[in-house]
Structure 1
Amino acid sequence: MRVLQVRVLLLLCLVYLSLVALIYHYWRSTGLDNSIDILFDSPGEGKSPQVSNNEIVQFNFRRGSIHLGIDNATTPQASDTTNLPSDTLDNSKEDDTSLDLSKEDDTSLDLSGLSPPNYCLHTFYYMWYRNEDTDGGYMHWNHRYLPHWKEDVSKRYPKGRHEPPNDIGASFYPKLGPYSSKDPLTMKTHMYQLRQAEVGVVSVSWYPKGISDDEGGPPDELMSQLLDIALKYSIKVTVHIEPYKNRTPLSVRNDLEYIHKQYVNHPAFYKLSRRANDRALPLIYVYDSYLSPAKEWNKIFTASGSDTIRGREIDSIVLGLLVEERHKQDILQGGFDGFYTYFASDRFSYGSTIKNWEGLEKFARQRKLIFIPSFGPGYNDERVRPWNKRNSKSRQNGSYYRKMFDAATLRAHTPQSSSKIVSLTSFNEWHEGTQIEPAIPKLYGNYTYIDYTPNGPDFYLQLTREGSKKLVC
């Protein structure tokens, strides 16, 4: 009898192993990502993570990405929740992307449970990420360590590149993993998350056709796809013209011609009327506008300029970047329609310093300019600029974000304010740690990524939604 039992057990084991082998070979044959990241809710740097019975499997939106780990939002560990108020761990169901966004035909997409987007809330959006699954190689996630300008300082810090998927050029680790901006599923997920956060406009980091920054792929090749997807989610899109090589005011005029021809007539492209009966014009951000002399911009942006856009088909509302106080006069003399401040670090620059915003708003209002203050959840670029710790801004469990958001909203609500628009830096600039996109706990070797603990991965989407409701457009 005992021999028979042993034989039965052996037979069952063989059947089990055969099934495992079949599943494994099927998984490999489907072309799914054959890497599995083990994620732990790290108890702290220098301590060994303990995997408990609370292990779960997380299926991220990225095709084939399977993460075995501890979902901090769903199954908090005792060491992370001691003496914490219960509401810090509440991830509402509204913040769970429960829709099946992988369908090619999403014409039946039901967004009725979400509030309308707030078109006075803009965010800076980056489409420069690439990965092996979609593109055959990583871009931007493998960002190099940038050297300090002083060689004696630079030699004290790491050199070379990061090596994804576990080692990325960011202090936080994305919930989607190191995704590709080219993946339509990534775009859909981002647009849905923006709707959850009640953000109305994305300003895309943009380079002219065929051009990109040193680390990434050309964003212009994705613009048409993004506009089509954004339209389904009622999100508007504009561009943030980057300081590409040999950029001049005249080349920016050519860029505006191209943008008008290719994108402005798309129903998802963001346009604004300065006054009630004015023609709606595209609103365009120009990063590092101060790199060109004001007298050169004047030729493009004033009505009497030799190459003016004013009154032409390519007329636009163009905003320059204000970093230093002297840039106020550059903006005025250059003929810009207004200015924004971009940086999410209070006191990092004159423009990003909250106490200066009242004076900047007054300056803009008196000269009929648009002032768009920029705010963000924090700042940490130590994984690409390891020598720049002094400029890091802790998120302070969301309080820093609330402070900046409230200050920007106060300026927008000033009586006779020059603009009701504020700009969020950023949705997904991971290198500088300004993102509100969901992030998760992650331990890799001796490095523990920062995360949003004790709150869940979607915490900053929730805070953005709260702030959006206060911003009257």
Structure 2
Amino acid sequence: MKPSQTICAFVLAILTVSSCGGDDGLRSAEIVEESPYRIGVYYYPWYGGDFHGGRYMRARLVPPQYPTLGEYDDREAGVVSQHLAWSRQAHISLWVASWWGPDKREDRTLLQSVLPHPELADINIALFYETTGRTRSFSSFDAVGPDIAYMAQHYFNHPNYLKIDGKPVLFVYLTRVLSRNGTLGEVVEAMRASAAQAGHELYLIGDEVFGQPPNSSNALGLLDAVTNYDVYGSMGAKGYAGQGAVDRYYRAQAQWRTLAHEAGAAFVPAATPGFNDKGVRDGHEATSRKLDSDAEYGSLFRAMLEQAIEHTDDATGNMLLITSWNEWHEDTQIEPVGEAPPTYVDDSDSGEAFSEGLSYEGYGERYLEILREAAVR
């Protein structure tokens, strides 16, 4: 069966389970426990049936490890339905959706397939403003005001759009670059002014946290909250991270949190299961999903979650962000993969150019279960 066809069989299986009244399998998404955390995932609504030409590391493994749903088209109602069910299974209540501009594919997918979906129910949506695309790599800010006006018209009034203290929440990618360039104030002012003209007061969460914190930062006070999208780069661990790297990362995160509070901003901690972007680019060494060579698969994610939940803030509803739900190109996804034995062999000439000699398993729903356990701890 071709990976793009798997979704058809999978959705049929879902319908069969439901019609038979079974209580197992996908019905496990009906979780009894409640979580004290608002768990969000970075969600990428940009996949057509070819998965961008199969440019992700797991497609190059031998044998390949495809998404459980196959190389899906995320506009299909069955795909959205299963993503929602899996999210509830793992206590995920927020999708922070990548947004590249009006009428782009991501925008159309959200407006036509996600927000109108009849099973959206209690799942919140918020936009992740992709500054690299909307500011011409931080060189022009003419689109910022019109973009916010568009969001106000098409998103902010939707009942499922995330609001904090009645304010629509907008996540902004790489505000730390804007800060470094001295242009964050200009961009934030344009965003807030455009939202105000449409009758909204924005709650801005900036991707401001990275590495070790400075002694002080004027940028933090411009934002309502701050977080760290690039956990991989910030942690700086290659191969097997080890517990020491995780400990150092969250010590730095705790210092960032203190700095944010001093500036009047909230803090949103982050976690990731691993990283490998060899399917799309060179230059970054992979980080295994195992804490060390003898550890179990998923141990890095488990170790990160154990500390991340200690740094949530009441002001954000104890929000915790996961990089990511489905950024398959960088292998940060927790979305289920078809179950398969571990392998480090790939289809490159050397047999390890994509895996870098690290072992990868077809992990099934492992990361949903790890997250579910952490969310009710």
Structures share fold, TM-score greater than 0.5: yes
1:355 deviation in Å?
1.9
* 1:193 match: 86
1:337 maps onto 2:224 in alignment: yes
1:399 maps onto 2:299 in alignment: yes
Whether the aligned pair in 1 keeps the contact of 2:134 and 2:144 (CA below 8 Å) is: no
SS at match of 1:204: strand
1:36 deviation in Å?
4.6
Q: Write 1 or 2 for the structure with the bigger share of helix.
A: 2
**Correspondence 1:50-449 to 2 at 5 A:** 60=6, 62-63=7-8, 96-98=25-27, 115=33, 120-131=38-49, 138-143=50-55, 167=60, 172-211=65-104, 218-224=105-111, 225-229=113-117, 232-242=120-130, 243-247=132-136, 248-273=140-165, 280-292=166-178, 295-299=182-186, 301=188, 308=193, 312=197, 313-322=199-208, 323=210, 325=213, 329=217, 331-332=219-220, 335-345=222-232, 347-348=235-236, 353-389=249-285, 391-396=286-291, 397-412=297-312, 420-440=318-338, 441=340, 446=347
1:175 deviation in Å?
1.1
* 1:461 match: 368
What letter corresponds to residue 80 of structure 2 in structure 1? M
Distance 1:354 1:94, change over 3 A: farther
Write the distance in 1 (CA, Å) between the matches of 2:125 and 2:114.
Answer: 8
Write the distance in 1 (CA, Å) between the matches of 2:288 and 2:23.
Answer: 29
Write the distance in 2 (CA, Å) between the matches of 1:128 and 1:221.
Answer: 10
Write the distance in 2 (CA, Å) between the matches of 1:412 and 1:378.
Answer: 21
Write the distance in 1 (CA, Å) between the matches of 2:118 and 2:207.
Answer: 26
TM-score by length of 2: 0.75
1:121 deviation in Å?
0.9
Whether the aligned pair in 1 keeps the contact of 2:101 and 2:134 (CA below 8 Å) is: no
Whether the aligned pair in 2 keeps the contact of 1:36 and 1:65 (CA below 8 Å) is: no
- Please give the per-residue CA displacement for 1:272-296, whole angstroms capped at 9, x wherever unaligned: 11xxxxxx01111111223435654
Distance 1:284 1:192, change over 3 A: same
Write the distance in 1 (CA, Å) between the matches of 2:272 and 2:173.
Answer: 17
Whether the aligned pair in 1 keeps the contact of 2:34 and 2:376 (CA below 8 Å) is: no
Whether the aligned pair in 2 keeps the contact of 1:206 and 1:219 (CA below 8 Å) is: yes
What letter corresponds to residue 52 of structure 2 in structure 1? H
1:387 deviation in Å?
4.4
Q: Which runs of 5+ in 2 are unaligned?
A: 12-21, 238-244, 292-296
TM-score by length of 1: 0.61
* 2:18 match: none
SS at match of 1:437: coil
Query: Which of the pair has the greater relative contact order for Cα pairs under 8 Å at 6+ separation?
Result: 2
Whether the aligned pair in 2 keeps the contact of 1:114 and 1:196 (CA below 8 Å) is: no
Whether the aligned pair in 2 keeps the contact of 1:370 and 1:418 (CA below 8 Å) is: yes
1:403 deviation in Å?
1.3
What letter corresponds to residue 173 of structure 1 in structure 2? Y
SS at match of 1:358: helix
Write the distance in 2 (CA, Å) between the matches of 1:184 and 1:203.
Answer: 19
Distance 1:250 1:271, change over 3 A: farther
- Please give the per-residue CA displacement for 1:19-68, whole angstroms capped at 9, x wherever unaligned: xxxxxxxxxxxxxxxx456xxxxxxxxxxxxxxxxxxxxx94x12579xx
Q: Among all aligned residue pairs of Structure 1 and Structure 2, give the percentage whose two residues are the same amino acid.
A: 21
Write the distance in 1 (CA, Å) between the matches of 2:66 and 2:255.
Answer: 38
SS at match of 2:101: coil
Write the distance in 2 (CA, Å) between the matches of 1:328 and 1:127.
Answer: 36
* 1:78 match: none
1:230 deviation in Å?
7.1
Write the distance in 2 (CA, Å) between the matches of 1:171 and 1:432.
Answer: 16
- Please give the per-residue CA displacement for 1:166-200, whole angstroms capped at 9, x wherever unaligned: 659x9852111111112111111101100111111
1:307 deviation in Å?
7.2
Write the distance in 1 (CA, Å) between the matches of 2:24 and 2:327.
Answer: 21
1:126 deviation in Å?
0.7
What letter corresponds to residue 184 of structure 2 in structure 1? W
* 2:16 match: none
What letter corresponds to residue 43 of structure 2 in structure 1? Y
Whether the aligned pair in 1 keeps the contact of 2:327 and 2:333 (CA below 8 Å) is: yes
Alignment root-mean-square deviation, CA: 3.8
SS at match of 2:219: helix
